[in-house]
């Protein structure tokens, strides 16, 4: 369906793909010919010009065998990349199905070509290659991009669910399949209990990344998001550990019986392997963070340090038979925070992109293998086994979800609703992990490996295609938020106010138990860890300081060019009353809503958007760009001195004033007054407006109070592009630093700090005075809140 759907949408790309495919096919044809004795013939044909005998050095030879593996792997990856490009050129397709569907389809296509041409695929996938090269990048990526704070906030539930859930699934599926195997009619008598358990353990490796993309779009609540993310993160590790232990048991079982002691040892091993892995990961994370402290002069090495140390943690853990997956995850989580502050901006970008790239290459390869092994002869179809596997996978997932969440809900402040649990149940998509584990089963121990592989493939195809495609509509169906569009402005405003209010009250209440732990850690972090791990002087090139710098410059320019006065507000205002003249047009409501949603949306910082296959442009990057754009606009504006419109489009002019204020008296005096105020508005003129009340009549004084805040540089700027979300955030992430940086201009204290810093380093001392002027005037801003909130009282007097 996917293939047929693709064709009309992007014929171009499809042509490209086909061309590549044909290359692939052709190359395999060629390969076949080289295998045969025809090779000599070819050589002769090419060498004919030199009229030399075949034994001598030929001018042109073909040695496909030499390059076969990297050549074909490259072609596969290219093919998959082209397919992805095509996939994303189309707008509707990504919404329709997860990207892993596409990868599987491409894999199946390659598999079909290989099968059709009788080509022998290169043996890329074996146990050591998978565990040493393909798996680490995938795990590293998801560990590194994990949103730390929400993860730790939900740590208990995540561990409970991901850990116990995987175990429950593994044993549940294994044991119930074992029971099925006892029925003689199915012909599965030779599949013993251990093999079934092993199959169960590999079936429990859930890969719900596809679901995360859907969640991202549907904006599900943070906890649900984190549950699925945590599961994706930890599940692999847990099922791999279980898998390895069971493999060891199976090997042992071949030679001797298994004693109860061994089982106990296995359980202990399970714990040691997990904890040991995490321990090594944390150690290596700290080491690499410490080393990046000294790389300021050779920043090209920084990404290397990050990658090599995380890989080293994996390898060390594996050497000691600990869980490398958990080690590399822990390493990534630990170092991320410090590394990001240490490394330069470019290295930071490199690390991010390189990590995404590596993991997507790994995953693409695994999926292609899956496709390749789907189409082929190595299958054993047993209706009973496959159907029961499929059924048990669903049943046990349902059981584990509802039981485990029933228990954990009793301890949660915010329990998961039945809807949430349904979504979690439905998101049990199996992926690359399960397949690889099944594919890597040693044939010597598992005579019916083919059966296992087939069953795994069926489950993967079923979950990825059917569940992956329908989970989006399900989430949207369960969520009522679809009707958002009909909300009125009042409701929107009330809802927003309430969100902020709730957040504020929560803050006032504090967050006990957990809050204390985090507080302690933060103190420790500040006292010791940061001092040791982070450079003394924060790099000047970091985004935060760049932002500050640009802000400063902009402020200077604004004062110089006098833009400040251009957008001053000119509506006379004595509007205590409202007369209705016409109803709001839907477009107006729409644009208002737009502003509201875009600008006060983030009461809390949502989970960082996570997409396995792509990197969203980070807010920080967007903001930096935004500043540059705004700077340019500043100049343009100072030329035009035009009145900026609230929302970009010129047509908005007539819509701005919805109410029938007495326009007729535009208060020319007010303008003059304002101009006068601006002319003598130098650095010292930051005296709080309420003082003027004594000298003016109340009405006038309010107008003046109105002018005063207009001096804020940011106010008078034209909005360029999409405004970044300067939302109210709590997460102490990099973005938040920037957010604070952005807000710093609103608050006096950090502001002056910034001024000192910036001007020490730059030789722009002559501009210092105006800058201070603008800054001081922007100080009016914090006072604005109380000024404004008193205004109705004042007006009443």
Partner 1 sequence: MGAAHSASEEVRELEGKTGFSSDQIEQLHRRFKQLSGDQPTIRKENFNNVPDLELNPIRSKIVRAFFDNRNLRKGSSGLADEINFEDFLTIMSYFRPIDTTMDEEQVQLCRKEKLRFLFHMYDSDSDGRITLEEYRNVVEELLSGNPHIEKESARSIADGAMMEAASVCVGQMEPDQVYEGITFDDFLKSRKNPNVRAQLTSTEADGRGSMLRSGSHLRGHHDLAGHRHRDQDARPLP
By CB under 8 A, tell whether 571 contacts partner 1: yes
Which listed range, 152-160, 199-207, 248-256, 275-283, lies at the site for partner 1 (CB under 8 A)? 152-160
By CB under 8 A, tell whether 644 contacts partner 1: yes
Rank residues 496 and 549 by Cβ distance to partner 1 and give the closer one: 496
By CB under 8 A, tell whether 714 contacts partner 1: yes
Rank residues 380 and 487 by Cβ distance to partner 1 and give the closer one: 487
By CB under 8 A, tell whether 503 contacts partner 1: yes
By CB under 8 A, tell whether 162 contacts partner 1: no
Buried b (16+ CB within 10 A) or exposed e, 507-523: eeeeeeeeeeeeeeeee
Rank residues 384 and 493 by Cβ distance to partner 1 and give the closer one: 493
Rank residues 388 and 405 by Cβ distance to partner 1 and give the closer one: 405
Task: Tell which one of 606, 612, 705, 737 touches partner 1 (CB under 8 A).
Answer: 606
Report the site for partner 1 in 188-227 (rule: CB under 8 A).
Answer: 219-224
By CB under 8 A, tell whether 499 contacts partner 1: yes
Instruction: Give Cα 281 to chain centroid, integer Å.
Output: 22
Task: Tell which one of 94, 200, 709, 773 touches partner 1 (CB under 8 A).
Answer: 709
By CB under 8 A, tell whether 587 contacts partner 1: no
By CB under 8 A, tell whether 512 contacts partner 1: yes
Q: Is 617 helix (H, G, I), strand (E, B) or coil?
A: coil
Minimal distance, residue 606 CB to partner 1, in Å: 7
User: HEC states along 314-357?
Assistant: HHHHHHCCCCHHHHHHHHHHHHHHHHHHHCCHHHHHHHHHHHHH
Rank residues 9 and 693 by Cβ distance to partner 1 and give the closer one: 693
Rounded to an integer, what distance in angstroms lies between the CA atom of residue 559 and that of residue 565? 10
Q: Is 90 helix (H, G, I), strand (E, B) or coil?
A: coil
Minimal distance, residue 615 CB to partner 1, in Å: 24
Task: Tell which one of 719, 750, 757, 770 touches partner 1 (CB under 8 A).
Answer: 719
Report the site for partner 1 in 390-429 (rule: CB under 8 A).
Answer: 408, 410-420
DSSP 684: T
Buried b (16+ CB within 10 A) or exposed e, 4-23: eebeebbeebbebbeebbee
Rounded to an integer, what distance in angstroms lies between the CA atom of residue 625 and that of residue 617? 11
Instruction: Give Cα 191 to chain centroid, integer Å.
Output: 42
Per the structure block, which two tokens stand in for 650? 């010129």
By CB under 8 A, tell whether 364 contacts partner 1: no
By CB under 8 A, tell whether 245 contacts partner 1: no
By CB under 8 A, tell whether 527 contacts partner 1: no
Task: Tell which one of 546, 600, 624, 754 touches partner 1 (CB under 8 A).
Answer: 600
Rounded to an integer, what distance in angstroms lies between the CA atom of residue 55 and that of residue 61? 12
Rounded to an integer, what distance in angstroms lies between the CA atom of residue 424 and that of residue 585? 41
By CB under 8 A, tell whether 524 contacts partner 1: no
Rank residues 57 and 509 by Cβ distance to partner 1 and give the closer one: 509
Rank residues 106 and 233 by Cβ distance to partner 1 and give the closer one: 233
Per the structure block, which two tokens stand in for 555? 């402020």
By CB under 8 A, tell whether 37 contacts partner 1: no
Rank residues 4 and 579 by Cβ distance to partner 1 and give the closer one: 579
**CB under 8 Å to 52, separation ≥6 — which residues?**
58
By CB under 8 A, tell whether 763 contacts partner 1: no
HSE toward the beta carbon, residue 569, CA cutoff 13 A: 17
Burial of residue 115, with CB atoms counted within 10 A of its CB: 0-12 exposed, 13-18 middle, 19 or more buried: middle
Number of chain positions touching partner 1 (CB under 8 A): 123
By CB under 8 A, tell whether 259 contacts partner 1: no
By CB under 8 A, tell whether 584 contacts partner 1: yes
Rank residues 397 and 729 by Cβ distance to partner 1 and give the closer one: 729
Rounded to an integer, what distance in angstroms lies between the CA atom of residue 416 and that of residue 423? 11
By CB under 8 A, tell whether 788 contacts partner 1: yes
DSSP string, 387-423: HHHHHHHHHHHHHHHHHHHHHHHTT-SSPPPHHHHHH
Helical segments of 616-707, H only: 619-640, 653-656, 668-679, 698-707
Task: Tell which one of 151, 279, 402, 728 touches partner 1 (CB under 8 A).
Answer: 728
Minimal distance, residue 594 CB to partner 1, in Å: 10
By CB under 8 A, tell whether 789 contacts partner 1: yes
CB 165 within 8 A of CB 220: no
Rank residues 336 and 606 by Cβ distance to partner 1 and give the closer one: 606
Minimal distance, residue 652 CB to partner 1, in Å: 9
Task: Tell which one of 92, 583, 654, 797 touches partner 1 (CB under 8 A).
Answer: 583
Q: Is 98 helix (H, G, I), strand (E, B) or coil?
A: coil
By CB under 8 A, tell whether 620 contacts partner 1: no
Rounded to an integer, what distance in angstroms lies between the CA atom of residue 462 and that of residue 469? 10
By CB under 8 A, tell whether 634 contacts partner 1: no
Task: Tell which one of 58, 602, 609, 611 touches partner 1 (CB under 8 A).
Answer: 602
CB 247 within 8 A of CB 449: no
Per the structure block, which two tokens stand in for 662? 């007495």
By CB under 8 A, tell whether 609 contacts partner 1: no
DSSP string, 210-261: HHHHHHHHHT--HHHHHHHHHHHHHHHHHHHHHHHHHHHHHHHHHHSPPPHH
Rank residues 201 and 733 by Cβ distance to partner 1 and give the closer one: 733
By CB under 8 A, tell whether 148 contacts partner 1: no
CB 645 within 8 A of CB 741: no
Rank residues 681 and 729 by Cβ distance to partner 1 and give the closer one: 729
By CB under 8 A, tell whether 491 contacts partner 1: yes
Minimal distance, residue 545 CB to partner 1, in Å: 19
Rounded to an integer, what distance in angstroms lies between the CA atom of residue 715 and that of residue 204? 55
Minimal distance, residue 332 CB to partner 1, in Å: 22
By CB under 8 A, tell whether 729 contacts partner 1: yes
By CB under 8 A, tell whether 277 contacts partner 1: no
Which listed range, 48-56, 258-266, 341-349, 713-721, lies at the site for partner 1 (CB under 8 A)? 713-721
Burial of residue 395, with CB atoms counted within 10 A of its CB: 0-12 exposed, 13-18 middle, 19 or more buried: middle
Which listed range, 73-81, 164-172, 327-335, 736-744, lies at the site for partner 1 (CB under 8 A)? 736-744
Per the structure block, which two tokens stand in for 41? 């013939």
Task: Tell which one of 5, 156, 642, 666 touches partner 1 (CB under 8 A).
Answer: 156
CB atoms within 10 A of CB 650: 7
Report the site for partner 1 in 451-490 (rule: CB under 8 A).
Answer: 479-481, 483-484, 486-490
Rank residues 447 and 723 by Cβ distance to partner 1 and give the closer one: 723
By CB under 8 A, tell whether 580 contacts partner 1: yes
By CB under 8 A, tell whether 731 contacts partner 1: no
Minimal distance, residue 305 CB to partner 1, in Å: 32
Minimal distance, residue 453 CB to partner 1, in Å: 38
Cα separations in angstroms, 391 against 6, 394, 458, 459, 468: 31, 5, 12, 9, 17
Rounded to an integer, what distance in angstroms lies between the CA atom of residue 606 and that of residue 488? 24
Report the site for partner 1 in 649-708 (rule: CB under 8 A).
Answer: 655-659
Rank residues 82 and 227 by Cβ distance to partner 1 and give the closer one: 227
Task: Tell which one of 29, 153, 621, 677 touches partner 1 (CB under 8 A).
Answer: 153
By CB under 8 A, tell whether 88 contacts partner 1: no
Nearest to 767 by CA among 65, 10, 261, 775: 775
């Amino acid at each position: 369906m996917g293939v047929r759907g693709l064709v009309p949408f992007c014929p171009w790309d499809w042509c490209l793909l086909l061309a590549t495919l044909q290359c692939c096919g052709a190359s395999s044809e060629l390969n076949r010919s080289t295998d045969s004795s025809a090779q000599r013939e070819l050589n002769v044909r090419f060498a004919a010009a030199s009229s030399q005998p075949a034994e001598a050095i030929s001018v042109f030879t073909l040695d496909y065998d030499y390059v076969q593996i990297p050549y074909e792997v490259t072609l596969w990856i290219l093919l998959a990349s082209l397919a992805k490009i095509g996939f994303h050129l189309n707008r509707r397709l990504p919404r329709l199905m997860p990207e892993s569907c596409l990868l599987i389809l491409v894999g199946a296509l390659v598999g079909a070509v290989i099968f059709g041409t009788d080509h022998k695929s290169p043996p890329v996938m074996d146990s050591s290659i998978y565990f040493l090269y393909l798996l680490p990048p995938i795990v590293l990526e998801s560990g590194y991009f994990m949103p730390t704070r929400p993860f730790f906030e939900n740590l208990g539930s995540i561990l409970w669910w991901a850990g116990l859930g995987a175990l429950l699934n593994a044993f549940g599926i294994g044991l119930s399949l074992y029971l099925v195997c006892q029925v003689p009619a199915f012909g599965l008598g030779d599949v013993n209990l251990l093999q079934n358990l092993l199959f169960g353990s590999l079936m429990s490796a859930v890969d719900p990344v596809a679901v995360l993309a859907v969640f991202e779009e549907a904006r599900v609540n943070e906890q649900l998001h984190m549950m699925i993310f945590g599961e994706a993160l930890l599940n692999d590790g847990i099922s791999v550990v279980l898998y390895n232990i069971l493999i060891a048991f199976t090997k042992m079982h071949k030679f001797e019986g298994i004693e109860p002691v061994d089982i106990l040892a296995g359980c202990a091993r399970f714990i040691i392997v997990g904890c040991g892995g995490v321990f090594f990961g944390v150690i290596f994370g700290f080491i690499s963070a410490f080393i990046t402290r000294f790389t300021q002069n050779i920043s090209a090495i920084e990404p290397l340090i990050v990658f090599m140390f995380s890989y080293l943690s994996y390898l060390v853990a594996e050497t000691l038979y600990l869980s490398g997956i958990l080690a590399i995850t822990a390493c990534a989580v630990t170092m991320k925070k410090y590394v990001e502050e240490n490394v330069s901006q470019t290295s930071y970008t490199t690390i991010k992109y390189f990590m995404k790239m590596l993991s997507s290459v790994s995953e693409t390869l695994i999926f292609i293998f899956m496709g390749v092994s789907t189409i082929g002869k190595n299958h054993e179809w047993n209706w009973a086994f496959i159907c029961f596997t499929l059924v048990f996978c669903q049943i046990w997932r349902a059981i584990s979800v509802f039981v485990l969440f029933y228990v954990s809900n009793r301890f949660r402040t915010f329990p998961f609703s039945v809807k949430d649990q349904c979504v979690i149940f439905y998101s049990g998509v199996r992926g690359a992990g399960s397949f690889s584990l099944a594919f890597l089963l040693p044939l010597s121990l598992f005579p019916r490996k083919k059966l296992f592989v087939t069953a795994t493939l069926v489950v993967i195809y079923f979950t990825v295609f059917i569940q992956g495609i329908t989970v989006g509509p399900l989430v949207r169906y369960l969520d009522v938020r679809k009707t958002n569009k009909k909300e009125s402005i009042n409701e929107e405003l009330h809802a927003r106010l309430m969100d902020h209010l709730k957040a504020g009250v929560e803050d006032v209440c504090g967050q006990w138990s957990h809050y204390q732990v985090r507080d302690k850690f933060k103190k420790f972090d500040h006292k010791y860890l940061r001092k040791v791990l982070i450079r003394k002087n924060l790099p000047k090139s970091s985004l935060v300081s760049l932002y500050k710098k640009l802000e400063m410059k902009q402020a200077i320019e604004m004062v110089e060019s006098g833009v400040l006065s251009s957008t001053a507000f000119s509506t006379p205002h004595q509007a205590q009353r409202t007369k209705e003249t016409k109803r709001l047009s839907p477009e107006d409501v729409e644009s208002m809503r737009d502003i509201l949603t875009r600008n006060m949306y983030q009461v809390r910082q949502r989970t960082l958007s996570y997409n396995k296959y792509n990197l969203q442009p980070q807010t920080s990057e967007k903001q930096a760009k935004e500043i540059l754009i705004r700077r340019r606009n500043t100049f343009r504006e100072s030329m035009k001195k035009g009145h900026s419109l609230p929302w970009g489009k010129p047509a908005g002019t007539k819509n701005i004033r919805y109410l029938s204020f007495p326009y007729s008296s535009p208060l020319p005096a007010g303008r003059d007054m304002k101009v006068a105020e601006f002319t003598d508005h130098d650095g010292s003129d930051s005296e709080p407006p309420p003082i003027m009340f004594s000298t003016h009549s109340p009405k006038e004084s309010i107008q003046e109070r109105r002018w005063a805040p207009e001096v804020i540089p940011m106010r008078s700027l034209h909005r360029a592009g999409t405004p970044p979300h300067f939302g109210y955030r709590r997460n102490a992430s990099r973005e938040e630093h920037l957010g604070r940086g952005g807000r710093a201009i609103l608050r006096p204290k950090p502001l002056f700090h910034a001024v000192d810093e910036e001007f020490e380093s730059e030789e722009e001392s002559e501009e210092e005075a105006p800058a201070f002027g603008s800054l001081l005037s922007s100080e009016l801003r914090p006072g604005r809140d109380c000024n404004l909130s008193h205004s109705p009282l004042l007006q009443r007097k």
